[in-house]
Structure 1
Amino acid sequence: MKRLGIENGALDAVDARIVALLADNARIPTAELARSVGLSAPSVAERLRRLEDSGVIEGYMARIAPAAIGYPVSAWLRVRPVPGELKRVAEIIRSIPEITECDRITGEDCFLARVRVASVADLERLLDQLVPYAMTNTAIVQSSPVLPRLPPLAPAA
């Protein structure tokens, strides 16, 4: 069943353009979106509502520069809980606000987490919370040549 141009995760060309524009600027006014896709503002507002209702658009947010708010050190942590401590480690990870994203992954490690901290000393204190229950491998980020972005939005054929 095709709904709003969304079928099996595919977007029609107009919805794909709307999503791409919002990914670039979540604050773009509906009227400007409408001009960019060649529709009326009410039509775009309805498409936005349907994209939200269908779960394509999960929310709107600003991209904040962590260094500008006092968190210049970024690192990726690979975390391997010791046997029997998976749930505890997941709870610890959830409780640490400096862990800004985390995925449970396949392979030798169970979690891959992004950390934003003010200093290497703060990173060490963070790691100390995990060490009794997990082994960690840390990679400090030098630069980010690709910022978070959407995968290609190929419209439905």
Structure 2
Amino acid sequence: MLDDVDKRILELLSNDGRMSVKDLAQHVGLSAPSTSERIKRLEERGVIRGFTVEIDPASIGFMLQAIIRVRPLPGKLHVVQQLIEAIPEISECDKVTGDDCFIARLHVRSIEELDTILDRIADKAETNTSIVKLQPVKRRLLPLS
């Protein structure tokens, strides 16, 4: 279980993954070595899986974001999964229950690029694509209490 100090460390790191151990320690009221040890234990327990950087796709030319629902044709599930894994413009993909097998988040520079990518899958799966207008809730920390 997480105690209040662990929860606070997670909240602080989720807001700023580059916060120094010294600054974290000051915010949670522990020494730097104690704070460092807590972070290490959270990593060992798998609570913290890694530290990352968040990049704005539009700032590097990926102006369109799409959500693609993918329903492989009979016998093509594994082939389609391999295709999805091999497309670098797909930033996330979930294998789901229901009518579709996969829901993927795709970033592209243009509609033409979207068509080119979808054409790679077209003979192996049915797709349904929605262009993202706005993402009102970005990936965020789950409630810790």
Pairwise CA distance, 1:146: 1.2
Q: Is the counterpart of residue 94 in structure 1 residue 85 in structure 2?
A: yes
Distance 1:118 1:23 in 2: 29
State the one-letter code of the partner of 1:142. K
Pairwise CA distance, 1:94: 0.2
**1:74-153 map, 5 Å:** 74-153=65-144
State the one-letter code of the partner of 2:49. E
Count of residues paired in the alignment:
145
Distance 2:74 2:11 in 1: 43
Pairwise CA distance, 1:33: 0.5
Distance 1:62 1:71 in 2: 17
Q: Is the counterpart of residue 36 in structure 1 residue 27 in structure 2?
A: yes
State the one-letter code of the partner of 2:20. P
Pairwise CA distance, 1:76: 0.4
Q: Which moved more, 1:11-20 or 1:109-118?
A: 11-20
RMSD: 0.7
Q: Report Cα offsets for 1:57-97 as digits up to 9, x if no partner.
A: 11101110000011010010000000100000000000000
- Per the alignment, residue 12 of structure 1 pairs with 3
State the one-letter code of the partner of 1:69. I
Distance 2:141 2:16 in 1: 13
Pairwise CA distance, 1:116: 0.5
Task: For structure 2, list consecutive stretches of 5 or more residues without a partner in the other structure.
Answer: none
3-state SS of paired residue (1:122): helix
Distance 2:75 2:141 in 1: 36
Distance 1:18 1:78 in 2: 36
State the one-letter code of the partner of 1:111. F
Question: TM-score w.r.t. structure 1 length?
Answer: 0.91
- Per the alignment, residue 3 of structure 1 pairs with none
State the one-letter code of the partner of 2:118. L
Pairwise CA distance, 1:150: 1.4
